[in-house]
Amino acid sequence: MNREIDTTGIKIGMWIFLYSEIILFGGLFVLYAVYLHRYPQFFSEGGKELDRIIGTLNTVILLVSSFTVASSVTAVQRGEKKKCAALLLFSILCGFGFLVNKYFEWGAKIDHGIYPNSERLVNGEPGENIFFGLYYLITGLHGLHVIVGIVLLCLSLVLLLTGRVTAQRFTMLDNSGLYWHLVDLIWIFVFPLFYLVL
Protein backbone atom coordinates (compact mmCIF):
# COMPACT_ATOMS: atom_id res chain seq x y z
CA MET A 1 0.00 0.00 0.00
CA ASN A 2 2.79 2.44 0.93
CA ARG A 3 4.64 1.66 -2.28
CA GLU A 4 1.59 2.63 -4.34
CA ILE A 5 1.33 5.95 -2.46
CA ASP A 6 5.04 6.65 -3.02
CA THR A 7 4.73 5.83 -6.72
CA THR A 8 1.75 8.13 -7.07
CA GLY A 9 3.66 10.94 -5.36
CA ILE A 10 6.62 10.45 -7.68
CA LYS A 11 4.37 10.54 -10.76
CA ILE A 12 2.64 13.71 -9.56
CA GLY A 13 6.03 15.29 -8.95
CA MET A 14 7.13 14.33 -12.46
CA TRP A 15 4.00 15.88 -14.00
CA ILE A 16 4.58 19.11 -12.05
CA PHE A 17 8.17 19.19 -13.30
CA LEU A 18 7.03 18.60 -16.89
CA TYR A 19 4.49 21.39 -16.53
CA SER A 20 7.27 23.79 -15.45
CA GLU A 21 9.27 22.79 -18.53
CA ILE A 22 6.27 23.50 -20.75
CA ILE A 23 5.97 26.95 -19.16
CA LEU A 24 9.68 27.61 -19.85
CA PHE A 25 9.47 26.72 -23.54
CA GLY A 26 6.03 28.28 -23.83
CA GLY A 27 7.52 31.60 -22.72
CA LEU A 28 10.25 31.28 -25.33
CA PHE A 29 7.66 30.51 -28.02
CA VAL A 30 5.68 33.61 -27.02
CA LEU A 31 8.89 35.64 -27.31
CA TYR A 32 9.43 34.13 -30.75
CA ALA A 33 5.88 35.08 -31.78
CA VAL A 34 6.37 38.69 -30.68
CA TYR A 35 9.54 39.09 -32.75
CA LEU A 36 8.08 37.17 -35.70
CA HIS A 37 5.29 39.76 -35.79
CA ARG A 38 7.84 42.56 -35.70
CA TYR A 39 10.36 41.12 -38.21
CA PRO A 40 8.44 38.66 -40.44
CA GLN A 41 10.67 39.17 -43.49
CA PHE A 42 13.92 38.48 -41.62
CA PHE A 43 12.47 35.45 -39.86
CA SER A 44 11.37 34.06 -43.22
CA GLU A 45 14.81 34.67 -44.73
CA GLY A 46 16.51 33.18 -41.67
CA GLY A 47 14.36 30.06 -41.86
CA LYS A 48 15.39 29.53 -45.47
CA GLU A 49 19.03 29.39 -44.37
CA LEU A 50 18.37 26.42 -42.08
CA ASP A 51 18.74 22.87 -43.38
CA ARG A 52 15.18 21.52 -43.72
CA ILE A 53 16.43 18.03 -44.56
CA ILE A 54 18.30 17.76 -41.25
CA GLY A 55 15.35 19.33 -39.43
CA THR A 56 12.96 16.82 -40.98
CA LEU A 57 15.31 13.92 -40.26
CA ASN A 58 15.58 14.98 -36.63
CA THR A 59 11.78 15.17 -36.43
CA VAL A 60 11.47 11.60 -37.72
CA ILE A 61 14.21 10.43 -35.34
CA LEU A 62 12.43 11.88 -32.30
CA LEU A 63 9.00 10.60 -33.36
CA VAL A 64 10.34 7.07 -33.87
CA SER A 65 12.27 7.17 -30.59
CA SER A 66 9.17 8.38 -28.75
CA PHE A 67 7.30 5.34 -30.09
CA THR A 68 10.08 2.94 -29.06
CA VAL A 69 10.26 4.47 -25.56
CA ALA A 70 6.49 3.99 -25.15
CA SER A 71 6.87 0.42 -26.46
CA SER A 72 9.64 -0.24 -23.92
CA VAL A 73 7.27 0.66 -21.07
CA THR A 74 4.66 -1.73 -22.48
CA ALA A 75 7.33 -4.43 -22.86
CA VAL A 76 8.48 -4.17 -19.23
CA GLN A 77 4.87 -4.31 -18.02
CA ARG A 78 4.52 -7.58 -19.92
CA GLY A 79 7.73 -8.92 -18.42
CA GLU A 80 9.59 -8.82 -21.75
CA LYS A 81 12.95 -7.69 -20.38
CA LYS A 82 15.05 -8.31 -23.50
CA LYS A 83 12.57 -6.55 -25.76
CA CYS A 84 12.41 -3.61 -23.37
CA ALA A 85 16.22 -3.38 -23.27
CA ALA A 86 16.46 -3.48 -27.08
CA LEU A 87 13.82 -0.77 -27.45
CA LEU A 88 15.57 1.43 -24.87
CA LEU A 89 18.94 0.96 -26.56
CA PHE A 90 17.42 1.91 -29.92
CA SER A 91 15.85 5.02 -28.37
CA ILE A 92 19.19 6.03 -26.85
CA LEU A 93 20.89 5.64 -30.23
CA CYS A 94 18.17 7.81 -31.78
CA GLY A 95 18.93 10.49 -29.20
CA PHE A 96 22.62 10.39 -30.12
CA GLY A 97 21.67 10.52 -33.81
CA PHE A 98 19.66 13.66 -33.15
CA LEU A 99 22.62 15.30 -31.39
CA VAL A 100 25.04 14.35 -34.17
CA ASN A 101 22.73 15.92 -36.77
CA LYS A 102 22.43 19.05 -34.64
CA TYR A 103 26.24 19.19 -34.29
CA PHE A 104 26.70 19.17 -38.06
CA GLU A 105 23.90 21.69 -38.55
CA TRP A 106 25.32 24.12 -36.00
CA GLY A 107 28.82 23.53 -37.41
CA ALA A 108 27.66 24.52 -40.90
CA LYS A 109 26.07 27.70 -39.56
CA ILE A 110 29.19 28.62 -37.61
CA ASP A 111 31.36 28.00 -40.70
CA HIS A 112 29.16 30.50 -42.57
CA GLY A 113 29.65 33.11 -39.85
CA ILE A 114 26.18 32.70 -38.36
CA TYR A 115 26.50 32.42 -34.60
CA PRO A 116 25.77 34.68 -31.60
CA ASN A 117 27.87 37.88 -31.67
CA SER A 118 29.32 37.03 -35.09
CA GLU A 119 30.31 39.95 -37.27
CA ARG A 120 27.55 39.18 -39.75
CA LEU A 121 24.78 39.20 -37.12
CA VAL A 122 26.10 42.12 -35.06
CA ASN A 123 26.53 44.35 -38.13
CA GLY A 124 23.44 43.04 -39.93
CA GLU A 125 19.74 43.63 -39.55
CA PRO A 126 18.24 43.36 -36.04
CA GLY A 127 15.58 40.92 -37.24
CA GLU A 128 18.17 38.46 -38.53
CA ASN A 129 20.20 38.76 -35.32
CA ILE A 130 17.10 38.09 -33.19
CA PHE A 131 16.01 35.12 -35.34
CA PHE A 132 19.35 33.34 -35.06
CA GLY A 133 19.70 34.34 -31.40
CA LEU A 134 16.39 32.63 -30.68
CA TYR A 135 17.38 29.71 -32.92
CA TYR A 136 20.55 29.03 -30.93
CA LEU A 137 18.86 29.65 -27.58
CA ILE A 138 15.84 27.41 -28.17
CA THR A 139 17.57 24.60 -30.09
CA GLY A 140 20.49 24.69 -27.65
CA LEU A 141 18.17 24.44 -24.65
CA HIS A 142 16.28 21.66 -26.40
CA GLY A 143 19.59 19.89 -27.08
CA LEU A 144 20.40 20.00 -23.36
CA HIS A 145 17.02 18.39 -22.70
CA VAL A 146 17.86 15.67 -25.22
CA ILE A 147 21.12 14.98 -23.34
CA VAL A 148 19.24 14.78 -20.01
CA GLY A 149 16.71 12.46 -21.66
CA ILE A 150 19.50 10.18 -22.93
CA VAL A 151 21.00 10.04 -19.42
CA LEU A 152 17.60 9.10 -17.95
CA LEU A 153 17.06 6.40 -20.58
CA CYS A 154 20.58 5.02 -19.96
CA LEU A 155 19.90 4.94 -16.22
CA SER A 156 16.59 3.16 -16.84
CA LEU A 157 18.38 0.61 -19.03
CA VAL A 158 20.99 -0.06 -16.33
CA LEU A 159 18.27 -0.45 -13.70
CA LEU A 160 16.39 -2.80 -16.02
CA LEU A 161 19.46 -4.97 -16.63
CA THR A 162 20.26 -5.10 -12.90
CA GLY A 163 16.71 -6.14 -12.02
CA ARG A 164 15.68 -2.92 -10.29
CA VAL A 165 13.15 -2.08 -13.02
CA THR A 166 10.63 -4.87 -13.33
CA ALA A 167 7.03 -5.46 -14.35
CA GLN A 168 6.02 -4.51 -10.81
CA ARG A 169 8.44 -1.57 -10.36
CA PHE A 170 8.89 0.52 -13.49
CA THR A 171 8.28 4.07 -12.25
CA MET A 172 11.80 5.19 -13.23
CA LEU A 173 11.33 3.94 -16.78
CA ASP A 174 7.84 5.39 -16.98
CA ASN A 175 9.00 8.84 -15.82
CA SER A 176 12.01 8.73 -18.15
CA GLY A 177 9.57 7.97 -20.96
CA LEU A 178 7.38 10.92 -20.00
CA TYR A 179 10.42 13.20 -20.06
CA TRP A 180 11.43 11.85 -23.49
CA HIS A 181 7.92 12.50 -24.82
CA LEU A 182 8.24 16.09 -23.59
CA VAL A 183 11.50 16.45 -25.53
CA ASP A 184 9.70 15.15 -28.62
CA LEU A 185 6.70 17.44 -28.07
CA ILE A 186 8.91 20.52 -27.76
CA TRP A 187 10.66 19.66 -31.04
CA ILE A 188 7.29 19.34 -32.77
CA PHE A 189 6.88 23.08 -32.07
CA VAL A 190 10.52 24.05 -32.71
CA PHE A 191 10.65 22.44 -36.16
CA PRO A 192 7.89 24.46 -37.88
CA LEU A 193 8.76 27.68 -36.06
CA PHE A 194 12.31 27.76 -37.37
CA TYR A 195 12.48 25.46 -40.38
CA LEU A 196 9.08 26.06 -41.98
CA VAL A 197 8.59 29.74 -41.17
CA LEU A 198 7.16 31.59 -44.19
* Residue pLDDT, tens place only, 10-46: 889 999 999 999 999 999 999 999 999 999 999 999 9
Question: What is the pTM assigned to this prediction?
Answer: 0.93
Q: How far apart are CA 83 and CA 13, in angstroms?
A: 28
pLDDT in tens, 41-93: 999 999 999 999 999 999 999 999 999 999 999 999 999 999 999 999 999 99
Q: How far is CA 26 from CA 42, 103, 184, in A?
A: 22, 25, 14
Q: Which residues contact 119 (CB under 8 A, 6 or more apart)?
A: 113
pLDDT in tens, 87-146: 999 999 999 999 999 999 999 999 999 999 999 999 999 999 999 999 999 999 999 999
pLDDT band at 1 (very low <50, low <70, confident <90, very high): very low
* Cα angle for residues 130, 98, 74 (degrees, 5° grid): 125
Q: How far apart are CA 168 and CA 94, in angstroms?
A: 27
Q: Which pLDDT does position 6 carry in this prediction?
A: 58
pLDDT band at 3 (very low <50, low <70, confident <90, very high): very low
2-195 CATH fold: Four Helix Bundle (Hemerythrin (Met), subunit A) (1.20.120)
